[in-house]
Amino acid sequence: MPGIVWLSLGLLLSLTGFCQSVHSYSIIPKPAKLEARDGRFSLTGSTTVRVPSGHSELQTIAENFIHQFNTASGFTIPIQTASETRSTGSLLSFVSVNEASLGTEGYRIDCKPNTITIEAAKPAGFFYAVQSIYQLLPPEIFRSSPATAPVNWSIPACRIEDKPRFNYRGLHLDVARHFFPVSYIKKYIDLLALHKFNTFHWHLTDDQGWRIEIKKYPKLTQVGGWRKETLIGHYYESDPQQFDGQPYGGFYTQDEVRDVVQYAKSKYVTIIPEIETPGHALAILAAYPEFGCSVGPYETATKWGIFSDILCPSEKTFTFLQDVLTEVMDLFPGPYIHIGGDECPKTAWKNSAFCQQLMKQLKLKNENQLQRYFTARIDRWVNSKGRKIIGWDEIMDGESPAARVSARAVVMSWRGTEGGLKAARQNHDVIMTPENYVYLDHYQADRSQEPLAFGRFTPLEETYSYDPTPADLPAGVQQHILGVQASVWTEYLKTAGEVEYMVWPRAAAGAEVAWTPSEQKDWPDFTQRLPQLFQRLENVGVTYSRSYYDVLAEQTSLMDGRLQIRLESKEKTAEIRFSTDGSDPTAQSNRYEKPVDLTKPTTIKAVTVKSGRIIGEVQSWNFAVSKVTGKTIQLATATTKPRNADAPILIDGRYGSTIGYLEEMQNVAGVKTADLNATIDLTEIQSIQSVTIGLVKATAGNILLPKAVEVAVSDDGKAFRSVKNVPMDPTERGKKAIIRQTLTFEPVLCRYIRIIARNVGKVPVGMPKAGQDAWVMADEITVE
């Protein structure tokens, strides 16, 4: 594809051998109809490409395709118009047809051993046909220079008739939290286009930065475009929070924006700009505090989250927004302007005499209705300019007769699906982007094995499973679902490579959700097209995730004290190779064939292998085996955090993790205000001399170390005698961590062991959340 230098990074692996076993029609998104045929069409130096005369846009599409093919192959295939005499070699013809059934974006490909005919009614259809041709060709088609090894430049014979399920097929990128240069935005758009997305949602402003030049308000970029430093790690990673001390910023000039918009147009991608209102506005207020409800001071946010300082609904604020949106609309010719509207606390409005008086004047019952009024004002003004607004689903909150959003307003549903369905039932057009399915900044695999991400868990198969219009949705509601969008927020994604790792291949799954008829979607078939996708991504220099090929481990504690480990992969045709000596497994390491029994603490590492080649990333787990393995445990007070945590996980042999949100921490269990009091039955009297317990320290979330840990033993489970008591410091702050506390003592005979982590009860004076309820949370307990 022209317009970008395709770099083959060689970052990951060669999947050539793997791909030979995959069927040849590895198009993503899957076409609506594809009929396989025998034979292949070969592109050679004698192939001719023919286009109808008088179709300049189609001529450009064909020229771009042939330019890329000639660059990658070293051939010089010519382009002829229909009136010219062609050579005697194979023929690829573009034919314009007047068929309403194909719509704006539909196309047909009729591929036979000697001819390919591409038909469409509109240029966009021809463009998408070419994207399918790219994907039918070898992945080397994306090289920026001729391949050094021989390449079979051929396409499997077939007949394709294809058009999209949804008119809106979007991919989003947040550039406010972290900024990405124009060169990367163009690469991002290239990948959108290759997978038949037609909309790029460009999130340009937020609390942490304003990224677009507005000539009438230069301080938006001079001041609001910069933050003095950036939070390190997750929001609750450290107490106190740690910052990098490095100023951070950047913005796009209006000339750069025009260049990107024109580039996207050449890829049949419409850009929707987002200017956040009235919340997520600290970058605005840092530059122009007069648009807030107080005198400030304000500063561009240095950490993530939701902030109470928002725009004030004054006339000067509306004048400011109209001025800004006038310049924005001049840059972006598409029909939609996204005005945000999400995560807007009302504290500043509650405390504002002006806002309270305005509510009385407008007969508004609450601040939610005041936001509806705010949105309605912008909506009417944008409509007067011939455009439509898009807003996050919060713009439908606080309905009031005095503050109605027009029926033209489009709702983008992110808080699940219900907000979008409710808006559709009210005759609003809706774009579905529910976070639990298509937020690509979520973790996609085992958090302990993955790079830093926002939190939550959205694996590839969950994204693929999403259906924006389930069959039981009434037809009158379905018609308002314009389409689907995958969203990418960049709080924890600092580099282009980190963005790509989170986006691909999940965006490919999202592309199939948006394009392919629901009855044609097939998860096993999609997974068989992944190897070709990965080869294409590698040829265009994309740092994609191979987490689909990860090995998964489950453990079972046996009554005889062994820990049994089962390994599996979602890719059922792959082998699993593993090691137990701490070394990274190779394709020649032990092959997993049956569960592995452990009788001592062991590190297991495993990787998936296909056709003698490693296809996944090495996964690693440390398993605990001790005298409590396979035994029973009871807690005096039931655990309440995280969700679904229960006492047995404290001796199940798997160490915990504090990665992600506090409620998402894995293999840990905690109690609030009470002591964590665990009793383990060894089933028989035996000698013990040490107990180790992992204790979670996450003081930013009120999870404190206990004030003491005590070990007591008993022969009958009734009368316990203390054998060790170790004081700890619940006021210890710092980075979130699991502290492994070992208590050793003279050997003692017993059947029952009681471990008590004594909760301080309330957060002590002198700590940031003094007086609030305190948690004690434990990880794996081992006994020797």
Point out the residues that are catalytic.
Answer: 343
Task: Report the C-alpha gap between 431 and 438 in whole angstroms.
Answer: 12
As given in the structure block, the two tokens for residue 607 are 């990787």
Tokens 């787990």 found at: 621
- By the 8 A CB rule, do 505 and 462 touch? no
Burial (CB count within 10 angstroms: exposed 0-12, middle 13-18, buried 19+), residue 661: middle
Q: In angstroms, how far is the first alpha carbon of the chain from the final one?
A: 63
As given in the structure block, the two tokens for residue 143 are 């090289």
**Beta strand extents in 487-635 (DSSP E only):** 551-557, 563-569, 575-579, 590-591, 596-598, 602-610, 613-614, 619-623, 632-635
Report the 10 Å Cβ neighbour count for 285: 26
Tokens 């030049």 found at: 213
- Alpha carbon of 682 to those of 253, 627, 715: distances in Å? 69, 7, 10
**DSSP secondary structure letter of residue 487:** B
Q: What are phi and psi of 111, to 5 degrees?
A: -110, 120
Task: Report the C-alpha gap between 178 and 646 in whole angstroms.
Answer: 39
- Alpha carbon of 552 to those of 335, 566, 571, 607: distances in Å? 46, 8, 11, 10
Side-chain half-sphere of 358: how many Cα atoms within 13 Å? 19
Task: Report the C-alpha gap between 337 and 717 in whole angstroms.
Answer: 68
Task: Report the C-alpha gap between 138 and 128 in whole angstroms.
Answer: 17
Task: Report the C-alpha gap between 35 and 201 in whole angstroms.
Answer: 34
Over its C-alpha atoms, the chain yields an Rg (Å, rounded) of: 30
Q: Which residues of 46-62 are buried (b: 16+ CB within 10 A; e: fewer)?
A: ebbbbbeeebeebbebb
Task: Report the C-alpha gap between 133 and 1 in whole angstroms.
Answer: 12
- Alpha carbon of 569 to those of 90, 383, 538: distances in Å? 44, 52, 23
Task: Report the C-alpha gap between 338 and 340 in whole angstroms.
Answer: 6
- By the 8 A CB rule, do 162 and 132 touch? yes
